[in-house]
Amino acid sequence: MSKMLVFLSLILVFEPGFAQGDKKVLVELFTSQGCSSCPSADMLLKEIVELGDDKVVVLSYHVDYWNRLGWKDPFSITESTQRQYAYAQIFRNTTVYTPQAVVNGEVEFVGSDSYKMNTSISDAKKSSKLETLKIEANREGREVLVSVDIQNGAETTILLVQREAKTQVNRGENGGRTLNHVNVVRSVSEIDIENSNSTKIQIPKDVKGDLAIVAFQENNAGKLLSLGEVDLQ
């Protein structure tokens, strides 16, 4: 673990402001196995997970626009790219890039910048307004029934997350490397709030290992309102 992260982990424990309330912080990383700059960001995300702070939820979105450049990322999904483009509109960026990190939907930066990552999380923990979203997830085989506490007609997104993943990359910019990832978003669903507070999701056959459900709610402008996660048994 880097000295910076050790130092900041002590801040997370002892700074008085961090102990207040039950607010959450969401860290979203947009990455790709085809991007040579991304493994360092992936490792930084792993270090954040290893700090074990249950107030901080991290997500690894593998985008698909790198797939045409020599290596198809097996974890890439169109929904990851769509979310990144939605952020590009919010931040008024003219393009998208990897690795990109977004904290609480309010600040974006290069995802491998450890100083910016940790200061952004520190700032977000002091000012976050994200309520804890209650989630129930009942699994039967490869089907999961997810129910959430929907408030004020918020748009609700459900993510199937793979806690750990490893790939031997054979081609592209990372050819010959073994890459490790944490909290990989494997599927994205939405709840039709006009008819129900729940939805059923299927676990794809290639999704293995420890899994979790992460859910968040946003208003019509894309502002995050609440966030929660639960491990699947």
Whichever domain contains 33, its CATH number is: 3.40.30.10
- The answer for 36, left when phi > 0, alpha when psi is -120 to 50, beta otherwise, is alpha
Confidence of residue 221 (pLDDT cuts 50, 70, 90): confident
pLDDT tens per residue across span 65-91? 999 988 999 999 999 999 999 999 999
In this predicted structure, the answer to whether residue 125 has a pLDDT above a threshold of 60 is: yes
pLDDT at res. 154: 80
Close Cβ partners of 140 (under 8 Å, ≥ 6 residues apart): none
pLDDT tens per residue across span 31-75? 999 999 999 999 999 999 999 999 999 999 999 999 998 899 999
% of the chain residues with pLDDT over 70:
89
Q: Please answer whether residues 224 and 217 qualify as being in contact, where contact means their C-beta atoms are separated by less than 8 angstroms.
A: yes
pLDDT tens per residue across span 191-208? 876 667 889 999 999 999
pLDDT at res. 9: 43
Average per-residue pLDDT in the chain?
A: 89
Owning domain of residue 129: 3-11+23-231
pLDDT at res. 197: 86
- The pTM for the full model equals 0.89
Q: Do you find a cis peptide bond into 99, omega within 30 degrees of 0? A: yes
In this predicted structure, the answer to whether residue 26 has a pLDDT above a threshold of 60 is: yes
In a domain, 16, yes or no: no
Residue 217 φ then ψ, to 5°: -120, 140
Count of structural domains within the chain:
1
In a domain, 18, yes or no: no
Confidence of residue 20 (pLDDT cuts 50, 70, 90): very low
In a domain, 17, yes or no: no
In a domain, 7, yes or no: yes
In this predicted structure, the answer to whether residue 151 has a pLDDT above a threshold of 90 is: no
